[in-house]
Structure 1
Amino acid sequence: MTRRINLNADIAESWGAYSIGNDAELMTIIKSANVACGFHAGDANSMHRLCLLAKQEGVSVGVHPGFNDLWGFGRRRIQMKASDLEYMVAYQIGALQAMARYAGIPVTHLKAHGALNNMAAEDEEYALAIGRAIKTVDPSLIYVVLYGSKMQWAAETLGLRVAREGFVDRAYLDDGNLASRALSGTVLKDPEAARRHTLRMVLDGEVTTINGKTIKVEVDTLCVHGDEPTAVAVARSARTALEQAGVTVVPLTEMDL
């Protein structure tokens, strides 16, 4: 059987008069889009545009909820009650579902953004809060989680569909979490480096950490960050390498999860 993988991007992170990322070109490369829902970035118009583009390109669309942090682009860690976080995520699910209705497409998954994703990877209360929002609003949504994280545990505990995620353009710590962007070299901007990193994750099931340690990873989907200027080149390099290796890149909805 031909091996399959999903390639996704965190995308639609423009708002108002501010444009971030090359959504149109990136959408011709990826197969699933994680759409900002107005808290860390995005607005009704950017969500609507992205949903129409997804329909045109055959890309599945998911919720990309973040902290209410436009100033910090959702990359500042915020401590809050789990119940408040749950409702905040539910609110963002509803926002994207409304815009997707205008395009006539379903919302298929949820992948947390930035600091929320990093915190939920380590904090079971945050991970469960996100999971409860999914289960309450639309339990058919796929919970996209960092492999081996508290989010994976929460998804399995709550009986949700889960997709284990790896990162094409990020370096890892020894514990399997992502290395901080504050550290030099932890965002992979060179397409060739990203290509090697991607193939090793998918074909060998492992990555080398920033400390030189080899750790195991199992992935169903791979992420590229759409706000990076190098996103299109990195995504294209990863997809080309996967297809040359005999791996079929498909929407998340076509993965056997």
Structure 2
Amino acid sequence: MAYFILALSVLFMGAQSVIGAQYNRLNEGRRGTAAMYNLLLLSGAVCVYAVSSCIQFEFHAQTLWFSLGFGACFALTQCGFILALKRGPVALTSLMMQLSLIGTVIYGFIFWDEKATAISVVGLVLVVISLVLCLCGQKKGGKANWAWFGFAMLMFLGNAGCSIVQKSQQLAYDGNYKNMFMLFAMIFSLSITAVMFFVGDKTDAVAILRKSWFYPVLTGILNALMNLFVMIMANLLPSSVVYPVISVGGLILTALASLLLFKEKLRPAQWAGMGLGCVSVILLAVF
């Protein structure tokens, strides 16, 4: 059962990038697509966490501060993610998301008194090399451009912030109040994206809803289920198995989809960067 849940988590991880890319293609040329995407995604996620909280919920006032931080970082992540998918390759965008693990590792060295090992240092170096290869390996005027890199970095920083806030909350309260933490985090994030949507350009909102409302809602549900599955697997499988398998497995599925479904072509240097990125994720997650 544990490995079945793990396999579903890998599938859900890979599917999020693919669904986001397809949403962009269905709404090419329309305005306000990113704000609509995030609003619907977070609505789906809130519904899942609300159901989960009905099963187990314990309120803790101090955890609200962590939820607020996570919610802000998650909104930043999803905004950068959908805009990066719109401007660059699906595979490289997914890789950048996974490489944000470096933020948690460095933060741990500085603030959590975690010891740097030779393997973790190698992992960090490989992250840098991977980023250089992926960015500098592009063709002039190709899909992977500086606009893509800017949005990918927003996603990168936001996702690193999510990981740091989430782990800080778990360390502060011995892993308790997880459902309450995630529910209020998603509500805060939904509030942020709702403001962004209502102050933004809503010219094509009805057309987007009619054609593709299901895609972001499904992504939000898959994201929430994957996070809940990770919580379940924490008691069933070693973290040294769970995190690398989900991260690298999701990357592989996304890379296959970018080739087979979206017909994206990466240069040899970028494929090398993808490979080194997978290795670095394994090293940083395990060690």
The TM tier, using the shorter chain, reads under 0.3
The TM-score with structure 2 as length reference comes to 0.25
- Structure having the higher helix fraction is 2
Q: Which has the higher strand share?
A: 1
Which of these two proteins has the greater Rg computed from alpha carbons? 2
Q: What TM-score does the superposition give when structure 1 sets the normalisation length?
A: 0.27
